[in-house]
Amino acid sequence: MKLAVFSAKPYDREYLGGLAAKRDPLSEIETNFLDFSLSSDTAALANGADAVCVFVHDTLDAKVLQELHAGGVRAILLRCSGYNNVDLKEAEKLGLFVANVPSYSPEAVAEFAVALIQTLNRKTHRAYNRVRDGNFNLDGLLGRTLHGKTVGIVGVGRIGLALARIVQGFGCKLVAYDPSPTDVFKEYGEYTDLDTLLPQCDIVSLHCPLMDSTRHIINETTLAKMKQGAMLVNTSRGGLIDTGCVMKALKSKHLGGLALDVYEGEGALFYNDHSGDIIDDDLLMRLTAFHNVVVCGHQAFFTEEALTEIAECTLRNLDDWSKGVPTRNALVQVGRPMARRDSRLARL
């Protein structure tokens, strides 16, 4: 079984490669780690592989999927939960199996959202730099006590719910918007529509997936409905926010703070070192200059526990596909491995 792993980082080699080698001492999963992302320029490098393993910035549009299919690939394994970068209709048409890792430590992402909220609120990012410079002045570091504040969660799935549990511990009031409400959240707060949620929240945290219906869910109109001075947090997908409108809201001081782990144009930058480059994304560079904006490079998932779960689930998805066992992680449950008599997985 040949698996081409795109956008591979040292930690992918350690966790995914390490687990594959441990589970499969005869190395019948032949893992090829590729440092670059998948695109139409690089798809041919998967020729001969049975499956590809991809991450959030890999491109799997119709053209790339057709190229992969022509090269013999029959399975797409996402080592992430979001799948907005995959043309699922085309995958289905081609008979490609597609599976994701729907849940890997939702607490890791929720805890990171809280870390961003409290960094921005209590200004520890500024304090850290000041103290290193021998400046112990508190001017400009005034925060607000979270207890008693209203937090709005947009999208109460696994991560939104994990955030609700944590934030309840701070003594916050919780409201949520989700078109598919569940009873579980009702233990923590109330559901409402987005128009009602926005004006009452001191903090709005986004946890819905990026889809056509959620693209720019935060735009000029919805920003205007937010409470004056509120904080916006996005650890979900950059495309949920119209960044140009958010910039205007920050400049007019209507928006009081912005915490981003994800950014619309992140594909060109995130996960790589550009410290020696001139970055030509003026919007991002302007955002990082605001003292009330914190930007991180899509790292909310990045814990040892989450990487372990991602590796385990990805290899389980590969097993299930190769055995022809239906998996609940399948986004497209079609396609079977080509018969490879030399592969232990194919025989199972």
Q: Which is nearer to ligand NAD, 57 or 237 (CB)?
A: 237
HEC readout, the chain: CEEEECCCCHHHHHHHHHHHHHHCCCCCCEEEECCCCCCCCCHHHHCCCCEEEECCCCCECHHHHHHHHHCCCCEEEECCCCCCCECHHHHHHHCCEEECCCCCCHHHHHHHHHHHHHHHHHCHHHHHHHHHCCCCCCCCCCCCCCCCCEEEEECCCHHHHHHHHHHHHCCCEEEEECCCCCCHHHHCCEECCHHHHHHHCCEEEECCCCCCCCCCCECHHHHHHCCCCEEEEECCCHHHECHHHHHHHHHCCCEEEEEECCCCCHHHCCCCCCCCCCCCCHHHHHHHCCCCEEECCCCCCCCHHHHHHHHHHHHHHHHHHHHCCCCCCEEECCCCCCCCCCCHHHHC
Question: Which residue among the candidates 67, 264, 298, 309 is catalytic per the annotation?
Answer: 298
Question: Which residue among the candidates 67, 90, 266, 309 is catalytic per the annotation?
Answer: 266
- Closest contact distance (angstroms) between CB of 8 and ligand NAD is 17
- Closest contact distance (angstroms) between CB of 124 and ligand NAD is 20
Known active-site residue 125: no
- Closest contact distance (angstroms) between CB of 272 and ligand NAD is 16
Residues that bind ligand NAD (CB under 6 A): 81-82, 103, 106, 109, 154-160, 177-180, 207-210, 213-214, 235-237, 261-262, 298, 300-301
Q: Which is nearer to ligand NAD, 41 or 61 (CB)?
A: 61
Known active-site residue 304: no
Q: Which is nearer to ligand NAD, 97 or 104 (CB)?
A: 104
Q: Which is nearer to ligand NAD, 157 or 256 (CB)?
A: 157
- Closest contact distance (angstroms) between CB of 158 and ligand NAD is 4
The closest residue (CB) to ligand NAD is 157
Question: Which residue among the candidates 69, 158, 207, 237 is catalytic per the annotation?
Answer: 237
Known active-site residue 341: no
Q: Which residues are designated catalytic?
A: 237, 266, 298
